[in-house]
Structure 1
């Protein structure tokens, strides 16, 4: 299987999983979002430290802390990721799954804008057409919802910020 095919398969799997997450998070609606995210951070940290030790990547991990620019982007990515999870869990646990979902629908549009204006990527006419159609879909949903999707924009914006910061980090994703 080619890397592109693997990437598409992994992306599809991730989006299916993310689509099912609200079923899990609604069972935790009595727990504040901050507590849920805190647990996620703490348990992920311990799991990944064990994983790094088992993969014998301790030296690579130590090397990362010698590069201030990398540390800056790691902190920036972590901050955006934390804000994204806080907003997402808050929305799901407040029975606002549609707003959370719309945020992840808006996110690719913001990523495309970031790619175009920050990373100077070019778009084909088909890609431009797809962007226009998706933007019209978001506008239509906003009209139906009868208000600006501010929380959706928060979810989309924080995930876009996370993605931009992660693109600047040139290290193994596990590290």
Structure 2
């Protein structure tokens, strides 16, 4: 898939047009056990409402939305960069909702999304990136390979989609100034 994969930033109009496809990715990830702020069962209506809110954030330039599409044009992954930060942190952004559909995993999609979100952050003048992920999950290896620094763990920070507690590991990455 990496050779035929397209990863790109989308604007507000395209984000609105992708709501159903993004909702499918989110529902698939939560159904597969991903701790990404939602509980199972997650309805498509609730997932679509989330993505409509994201599209509004894109329209207000509060966040950047990236999508990964396969050679057929299907959305197989996504990641966001939260650009809107407090006034004393204009150099920082949060990476959020790095999601890859289960059918596209272990094919380099997440790696490509993370590289692209760093490029967007750099273009936006961000030099400090922060993210969090479930402790012990597959994503921890991805972030370590990509040069992210593990900052710490908060036990019982969140719930898995089935209701079980999970720890959350926080990471940061320093980017070179533009």
Using structure 1 for the length normalisation, give the TM-score. 0.30
Richer in strand (by share): 2
Indicate the structure whose relative CO is greater, using CA pairs within 8 Å and at least 6 residues apart.
1
Using structure 2 for the length normalisation, give the TM-score. 0.30
